[in-house]
């Protein structure tokens, strides 16, 4: 396939590339709400990090245009025109919108136009939310090869995923809580809180709100904060109920069909590894077992 400039998605270097892009996406999505919610200044270091990540995501778009994919019949499609058509049908728009530095372009245009500083700042902060679309890109990254190498138990893997999901929600809710309202600093000390103290206080508020504990020691003092808190109570209670239900399902289905299927795939992987089976044949065997 490489002779036709088409990349095998199961190739070792492609999987390493996907893993690196996934780490960068997680870092970028975690940092964007932090910088928005706590109004962190744009330092030269952050500017360099932004440009480097944007360049990597642009390269990933080019790579995706030349990466084969599995169709509904589990057949590997290597025709460039079909790869291009599939990518343009959905993922390309999300990748492009989340990669183009729209905030920097708007900031440059507003500075050249001489617009009002406060209104321009609010507009730029809202436009930066588009970068959260990078989180959606995590859904298309196949981490099955990494799971095979690490060989994590399915129960442990799902448990860590749930805790990561819960902490990710608290991170989002806490950052935007700080942006929409004021953290009650008088409860802690007379002087203003620094960034780490504000983040811990916001994270604490998010967890107590999502778990419906609500101690009431951190309050909203304006209408926007109260409206945001109300929405987060509804969303947080719903999502926390989902997490509790998922945790119960993990315990009940510990010996279920998914685990047995994963054990069969692990057996195939270990057998192919010990016998020196080629990667294409190994992928065909795993797809056959997965299909059954």
Q: Which domains can be identified in the chain, with CATH numbers?
A: 1-146 (no CATH), 152-254 (1.10.287.70)
Cβ-contact 78, 4 below 8 angstroms:
yes
List, for residues 222-261, the tens digit of each pLDDT value: 787 788 888 888 888 888 788 888 777 766 665 556 667 7
Q: What is the pLDDT of residue 187?
A: 47
Distance CA 106, CA 286 (A): 48
Cβ-contact 38, 177 below 8 angstroms:
no
List, for residues 56-74, the tens digit of each pLDDT value: 999 999 999 999 988 877 7
The two tokens of residue 156 are 């442990």
List, for residues 133-189, the tens digit of each pLDDT value: 777 776 666 656 555 555 566 677 778 888 888 888 899 889 888 877 655 444 445
- Report the mean per-residue pLDDT for the chain: 78
Distance CA 272, CA 292 (A): 19
Q: What is the pLDDT of residue 213?
A: 78
Cβ-contact 14, 113 below 8 angstroms:
no
Q: What is the pLDDT of residue 236?
A: 81
Q: What is the pTM of this model?
A: 0.73
Q: What is the pLDDT of residue 229?
A: 84
**What is the SS3 assignment for 217?**
coil
């Amino acid at each position: 396939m490489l002779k036709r400039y088409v990349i095998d998605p199961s190739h070792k270097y492609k999987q390493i590339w996907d893993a690196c892009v996934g780490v960068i996406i997680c870092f970028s999505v975690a940092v964007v709400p932090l910088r928005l919610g706590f109004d962190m200044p744009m330092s030269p270091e952050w500017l360099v990090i932004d440009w480097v990540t944007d360049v990597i995501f642009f390269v990933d778009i080019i790579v995706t245009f030349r990466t084969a994919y599995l169709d509904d019949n589990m057949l590997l499609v290597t025709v460039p025109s079909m790869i291009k058509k599939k990518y343009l049908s959905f993922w390309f728009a999300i990748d492009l919108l989340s990669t183009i530095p729209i905030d920097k372009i708007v900031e440059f245009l507003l500075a050249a136009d001489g617009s009002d500083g406060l209104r321009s700042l609010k507009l730029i902060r809202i436009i930066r939310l588009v970068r959260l679309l990078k989180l959606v890109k995590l859904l298309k990254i196949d981490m099955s090869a990494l799971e095979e190498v690490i060989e994590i138990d399915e129960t442990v893997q799902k448990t860590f995923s749930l805790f990561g999901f819960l902490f990710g929600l608290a991170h989002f809710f806490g950052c935007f809580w700080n942006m929409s309202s004021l953290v009650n600093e008088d409860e802690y000390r007379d002087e203003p809180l620094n960034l780490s103290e504000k983040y811990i206080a916001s994270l604490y508020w998010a967890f107590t709100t999502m778990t419906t504990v609500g101690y009431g020691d951190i309050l909203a003092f304006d209408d926007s904060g109260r409206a945001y808190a109300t929405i987060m109570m509804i969303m947080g209670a719903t999502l926390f109920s989902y997490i509790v239900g998922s945790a119960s399902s993990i315990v009940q289905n510990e010996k279920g069909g998914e685990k047995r299927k994963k054990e069969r795939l692990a057996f195939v992987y270990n057998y192919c590894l010990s016998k020196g089976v080629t990667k294409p044949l190994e992928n065909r065997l795993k797809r056959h077992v997965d299909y059954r």
